[in-house]
Structure 1
Amino acid sequence: MDEDFAAVRADFALPDHYPPAAVAEAEQAVARGPRFDRRDATGIPFVTIDPPGAKDLDQAMALERTATGYRVHYAIADLGAFLDPDGALDHEARHRGQTLYLPDGKVPLHPPVLSEGTASLLPGQDTAAALWTIDLDHDGEPTGAHVERALVRSTAQLDYDSALDRGHPAIELLPEIGRLRRASAIRRGAVELQLPEQEVEPDGDRWRLALRPRTEVDAWNAEISLLTGMAAAKMMLDAGIGVLRTLPDPDDGAVEWFRRSAKALGVDWPEGVGVAELLSGLDPARPEAMALFMDATRLLRGAGYTVFDGEPPALTTHAGVAAAYAHVTAPLRRLVDRFATEVCLATCAGHPVPDWVRAALPGLPAQMEASDGLAAKVDRACLDQVEAWVLGDRVGDGFDAVVLRAEANSAEVFIADPPVLARCAGEGLPEGETIRVRLTEADRDRRRVSFERVATV
């Protein structure tokens, strides 16, 4: 392509290769095969649901109905079967923290020979997994959970847009279970922000911006992952050791501010209805709903990783999930999941948590905070770069824009065509309303676009 993201990679000093010692360890692990005894679960007809073309497949599911409700089989890639504690590969993964995704390629957490090969839940391949079995009642509420090492085989790789069109029996119950879990989330008070996602797609020898709305399959698939994370958190709390993903509840002042924001946007908020229920009933395509979803991000600040070994921590819950929650479902792409999974595997097997896991836990919050921050900056830089490329020859043009978040002399605005999030200068910009703006700057080198409100008569 004529346009690439080499400057972004250079600005953030992103590595362009894996250290030879770590690659050698990965190749030796592939040749050796997965460690540990494990159950043969290759008879369960798992499927994966991922973006088209993905190769680093962390999760596979198979759902079934039981006499008492439902059973969720959820297989998660077992990185612990391949990595040597404190080896070169382990140290490099701890340094990286997570996979970084750029439009022209990824910076992987683990070498592709593992993350896109032997350790990935690719279809038709026998793969080592941490197999979660979670039983639900007829209302979709969990009644029991277990995790064990297993050998699994995915039978199909599906994508979000066509997963249900294929009619695969393993996920026939996904809409039914997904709706029950969404209803449970609303009852708990879980906050879901239905903001569409900006994406970068190839367009011939250039790049273009696209808007990907959140679909029902996205939401239902996410509910299975959240269910597993909640089961893992409970398991670790019961064992008295682990690492949780936590977020404090918003204080009364923040909720009152959000209530005033809804009123100003003309969103009806009936008495007795909570934030989660209010947001779940909004149409994300409406301008006032988009603005309110953006405002709701202020209620979800302060997320972190909380480690404990002995007494439970003061904060054990995640306000966005409205429950205790842990990251265990993406070990190919996120460091912390491997360690949390090892705690759960040991607990379920009745074994002590391995010393190497216990020793690593205290350092995980700082490692993940650093990698989360880097990932957010890289994502934003890539989007900013493409926005500047796409709008580079349109300075002076006018656009319709929705005001999402207003401040004293500027606001964050959303333009639908092309889908752009940017700053707009102007006083008293009305949140939740559509205004006319003019592009005043599209700097390709500085990755910056700016708008100003067009005066109306």
Structure 2
Amino acid sequence: MAQHVIRYSPSTPVPPAPPTERSSDRPVVAGDALAARFDAIRAELDVPREFPPEVLAEAVAAAAEVVLPERDETPVPFLTIDPPGSMDLDQALHIERDGDGYRVRYAIADVPAFVAPGGAVDTEARKRVATIYAPDQRSPLHPPTLSEDAASLLAGQVRPAFVWDLRLAGDGEGTAATVYRAQVRSLDRLDYEGVQREIDGGTGDERLLLLKEVGLKRIELERRRGGASLPMPEQEVTRDAEGRFILGFRPLLAVEDWNAQISLLTGMAAAEMMIRARVGILRTMPPPDEHSVSRFRRQARSLGIEWPQGEAYGEFLRRLERDNPKHLALIHEATGLFRGAGYTPFEGAAPTQPLHAAVAAPYAHVTAPLRRLVDRFGLVVCEAVSTGQEVPVWVREALPSLPDLMQAGDKKASAVERACTDAVEAAVMQSHVGETFPASVVDLNDKAGAVTVQLMDPAIVAKATGVAALGAEIRVRVRAADVATGRVELEVV
């Protein structure tokens, strides 16, 4: 299936995708039926709503009483890059040349400075686990007093942060890493589209040009390590300036990949610290087993796609094209290679399997503490290790419980995104019942007489009754679409 992404901005609706992008031109007016379906989804999946009064009160007090670290890095001209209108800004970045290499400073919001262990905010966060996004609203991990204000790295505001100081060689390989608490001030609040335009047009300042330079070198190192990413189309629901919902497939901007490499670099440095100290929690995923790789190789052969012997699966995936129907079908089949991801806590000895296969290295989540529970604990572990302090007892005691909490939270967030996307798909297709559309067959279902198809315009991924070959280009008819259930019924014609 496509990756489902909900873009929600409480203050600035997202503009429609530019016409150069392959996205749906059928915006959906946010009517009562769609709003009611979003509410029903939240109720069905038990998505948290309002924060309890004691949580809000503790958050307000924490924001008023926070003590800034003594170390002052406000002169460093950090910048943030996020979707337009985002208020929960976890990361701020600065890159400069360092001799023949680079110095990357990555400031991460110091959520622990505002969240007392065992307090009301902490207890509520362990229930919520992660920020959950829907097209019309979101359920944040922390009260907005913190996540969108006092703890957020908003431009022009002095904030406490964990600062990762990463030294890189000329080829982009990390050579040293430390993390410490400091007060920082981001100067520039940027978005991905604007940064991409500046870099492409040659008008970006050195920080942005170095982001591209370092990002490309980190991508090459990932390739050499044998890392892999799945080039799955990203099915996105956004709001336009008139409050309508738009459904489309959004191509990944190059700057998003470069920026992600900085987060991966930090997560790898965090994992190394944890393993060296023999305490922490890793984000792990086992390498695909021989049976899964052999099956995937047979699927490639059956689709007529050449995969030379000796070429790693990650390198092969990089060559697949999302606008080629046969390649698209194989991309969907490749999900079988990316299974078993989880969180692995440890103390006293490193895990026997510490790797994240897609990263091709040990890796930890430490860069999104405003939106993801586990990152708060990982940051405290790494700062203690880096500064030669003992890891706090409250962190050690929490580590064993985090995998189950994160698994449940991730499952709920994914279910909400899928159900909301289904509802928008149904709203898009309601006015097209009886019409036919071109589609690509991306999966064959165990159920006889059904296939999974992807339509590019409108951007729909759904099952269709009928028989067709994997990777085939076909036409499907819309038989029914129901917003109340989020169901779209298609048939092969």
Asked whether the 8 Å contact 2:159–2:184 carries over to 1, the reply is yes
2:487 pairs with 443, 448, 456, which one? Answer: 448
SS at match of 1:129: strand
Partner residue, 2:256: 218
- 2:243 & 2:141 partners in 1: Cα distance? 28
1:164/1:171 contact within 8 Å kept: no
Provide the C-alpha distance between the structure 1 equivalents of 2:226 and 2:71, rounded to a whole number of angstroms.
37
Measured in 2, the distance between the counterparts of 1:433 and 1:231 equals 44
1:344 to 382, 404, 422: 382
Out of 202, 205, 210, the residue aligned to residue 173 of structure 1 is: 210
The residue that corresponds to 1:33 in the other structure is 66
Q: TM-score, normalised by structure 1?
A: 0.96
Q: Does 1:284 align with 2:318?
A: no
Distance in 2 between the 1:205 and 1:18 partners? 26
Match of 2:461 among 421, 430, 440: 421
Quote the residue 2:415 is aligned against.
377
Alignment of 1:144-159 (within 5 A): 144-159=176-191
Specify the SS of the correspondent of 2:355: coil
Task: Give the alignment of 1:36-435 within 5 angstroms.
Answer: 37-166=69-198, 167-202=204-239, 204=242, 206-408=244-446, 409=448, 410-427=450-467, 429-435=468-474
CA displacement at 1:439 relative to structure 2? 1.3
Aligned partner of residue 14 in structure 1, secondary structure? coil
Q: C-alpha deviations, 1:181-215, integer Å up to 9, x for none?
A: 11111111111112221111235454221221112
Counterpart residue identity of residue 200, structure 1: V
Following the alignment from structure 2 to structure 1, what is the Cα–Cα distance between the partners of residues 206 and 212?
Answer: 12
Is the Cα contact below 8 Å between 2:320 and 2:331 reproduced in 1?
no
Deviations 1:382-436 (A, max 9, x none): 0000011111122221111111111353222110111011111223x22222111
1:18 Cα shift? 0.6
Alpha-carbon distance change, 205 to 125 in structure 1, aligned in 2, over 3 angstroms: closer
**Post-superposition shift, 1:138?**
1.1
Q: 1:61, 1:171 within 8 Å by CA — same for their partners in 2?
A: no
TM-score (norm 2): 0.89
Structure ranking higher on relative contact order (CA contacts 8 Å, 6+ apart):
2
Three-state SS of the structure 2 residue aligned to 1:57 is: coil
- Count of aligned positions: 452
After superposition, the Cα gap between the structure-2 partners of 1:205 and 1:113, relative to the gap in structure 1 and judged at 3 Å, is closer
Tell me the distance in 2 between the aligned counterparts of 1:16 and 1:236: 35
CA distance in 1, matches of 2:326, 2:190: 34
Who is 1:14 aligned against?
A: 47
Taking the aligned partners of 2:256 and 2:328, their CA distance within structure 1 comes to 18
User: 1:54-96: CA deviations, max 9, x gaps?
Assistant: 0000011111111131111111001011110000100000110
Q: Are the equivalent residues in 1 in contact too, given 2:196–2:253 (CA < 8 A)?
A: no
Q: Which runs of 4+ in 1 moved over 3 A?
A: 203-206
Which among 436, 446, 449 is matched to residue 475 of structure 2? Answer: 436
Q: Where does the alignment leave 5 or more consecutive residues of structure 1 unmatched?
A: none
User: What is the letter of the counterpart of residue 455 of structure 2?
Assistant: I
Between the two proteins, what is the percent identity of the paired residues? Answer: 50
Q: How far apart, in 1, do the equivalents of 2:228 and 2:465 lie?
A: 31
Counterpart Cα distance in 2 of 1:442 and 1:93: 37
